[in-house]
Amino acid sequence: MDIIVPQVGESIVEAEIGEWFKQDGEQVEQDDLLLELETEKINVELNAESSGKLTILAQQGDIVKIGAVIGRIDESAVGTTTTAEEPASETAEAETAATEQPAMNPAVPKIAAERGIDPTTLKGSGRDGRILVDDIPAATEQPAPSAPPAKETPAVATTSAPADDDRIERVPMTQIRKKIAERLLMARQQTAMLTTFNEIDMSRVISLRNKQKAAFEKKHGVPLGFMSFFVKATAEALKDFPEVNARIDGDDIIYHNYYDIGVAVGSKRGLVVPVIRDADQLRFDAIEKTIRGFAEKAQSGKLSLDDLQGGTFTISNGGIYGSVLSTPLLNPPQSGILGMHAIKDRAVVIDGEIVVRPIMNIALSYDHRIIDGQQAVGFLKQLKTYIEDPEEMLLEM
């Protein structure tokens, strides 16, 4: 039986062999996890569709087309076992030893060896404890185990090797990172991007959240965060300024009469933007559960293509990383993206008095080809109004 690269989306034409979890010539059982494919949008795991002996035809790092044959399973070899007792015992011991070693990405042993680290001592942060390349630098910060004192030997003159190789590291870009780079460059080169700013007094929404969060979590099983307020407020503001929810298609402008809000989520594989469908029709608890589900799936690499496709507008929250101001890049073909930032106490003047209020800077990057400055500023002002008066517009708990 051929192992074929599956069709994972209309726009995806190729994939990269991420990692084989079985060895060439190994006996596999039906439904065993065989390999992971990396595409420009998602990673896909392939399982064995039958039992037999595995033959690998495409290696880790190879770029393969959709529909390509990357391996075969010889079903006639099902049940083949060794007959000699002693070799079988040795094989079993070897397999046991192999399973005791932690799973790791293929590049880990080489990079760890170059840095003088035993990769089996590393603690993996990947799925099921898998050791990733990112786990190696952290290990260098840990003290190495003490070694027994060595016997004194006469000093020997040595010549230091060139340090250039130790000062740089070349790692191939993943398919997802390549796509991110391509789309970010596209946003700069193919749009007339401009950014406008405003600030929001978060006092009332913080007060409302503090008042409702215990009852909300008890009732719905998820914490009440600020993102759900912004998703709801954004959807309502987009209704008032439809150009911000539109996109250009050739010489036409496509207006979307629905509000599918993408939420930028960071993961070890890069930035992904899963989409909250019909956000204007969802209650707060549904939004919070959807966002939490996306975050969990992003970290485990299990976001589906359906989770990522579409979207009419994007929200990026740099505030969770401490950002106080930024100019977010558009997510083509969308024409607008909202940037949220960290909440900081600041002195402001209200009714002639200087008071301290929790303030969040917000930014709207937009395509000036279809969105005028008046519309962009008006959108942020409307969003500001909704957030600063949450009881009237957003209290649907």
Each residue of 342-371: pLDDT tens digit? 999 999 999 999 999 999 999 999 999 999
Asked if pLDDT for residue 81 goes beyond 60, the answer is: no
What are 38-65's pLDDT values in tens digits?
876 677 888 888 899 999 999 888 888 8
The structure tokens 């039958």 sit at: 50
What are the start-end ranges of the E strands in the chain?
2-4, 14-20, 27-28, 33-38, 43-47, 52-56, 63-65, 69-74, 193-201, 247-249, 252-254, 261-263, 265-267, 270-272, 275-276, 313-317, 336-340, 343-350, 353-367
pTM attached to this predicted model: 0.66
Cβ–Cβ < 8 Å for 269, 179? no
CA distances to 1, 112, 183, 289, 310 from 96, rounded to whole Å, are 28, 23, 45, 41, 46
What are 212-232's pLDDT values in tens digits?
999 999 999 999 999 999 999
Would you give the distance in Å from CA 376 to the centre of its chain?
28
Task: Locate the domains of the chain by residue range.
Answer: 2-80, 99-142, 176-393
- Check if 2-80 and 99-142 are the same fold: no
Please name the amino acid found at residue 70.
I
| DSSP codes of every residue in 350-378 | ETTEEEEEEEEEEEEEEETTT--HHHHHH
CATH class of 176-393: alpha beta
Task: Count other C-beta atoms under 10 Å from residue 72's C-beta.
Answer: 15
CA distances to 75, 282, 384 from 340, rounded to whole Å, are 55, 21, 12
> Where in the sequence numbering do the catalytic residues fall?
368, 372
Please name the amino acid found at residue 101.
Q
Mean pLDDT is highest, among 34-48, 82-96, 145-159, 315-329, for 315-329
pLDDT at 394: 53
Report the alpha-carbon angle 290-384-239, nearest 5: 65
Q: CATH number of the domain at 2-80, please?
A: 2.40.50.100
User: What average pLDDT does the structure give for the chain?
Assistant: 83
- CATH 2.60.40.10 matches 99-142: no
pLDDT at 162: 53
- Provide the 3-class DSSP secondary structure of residue 278: coil
Antiparallel, parallel or unpaired: β 193-201 and 353-367: antiparallel
146 Ramachandran zone, left/alpha/beta (phi>0; psi -120 to 50): beta
Cβ–Cβ < 8 Å for 334, 183? no
DSSP H or E stretch at residue 391:
helix 390-393
pLDDT at 140: 41
The structure tokens 């002195």 sit at: 347
Nearest to 280 by CA among 330, 238, 222: 238
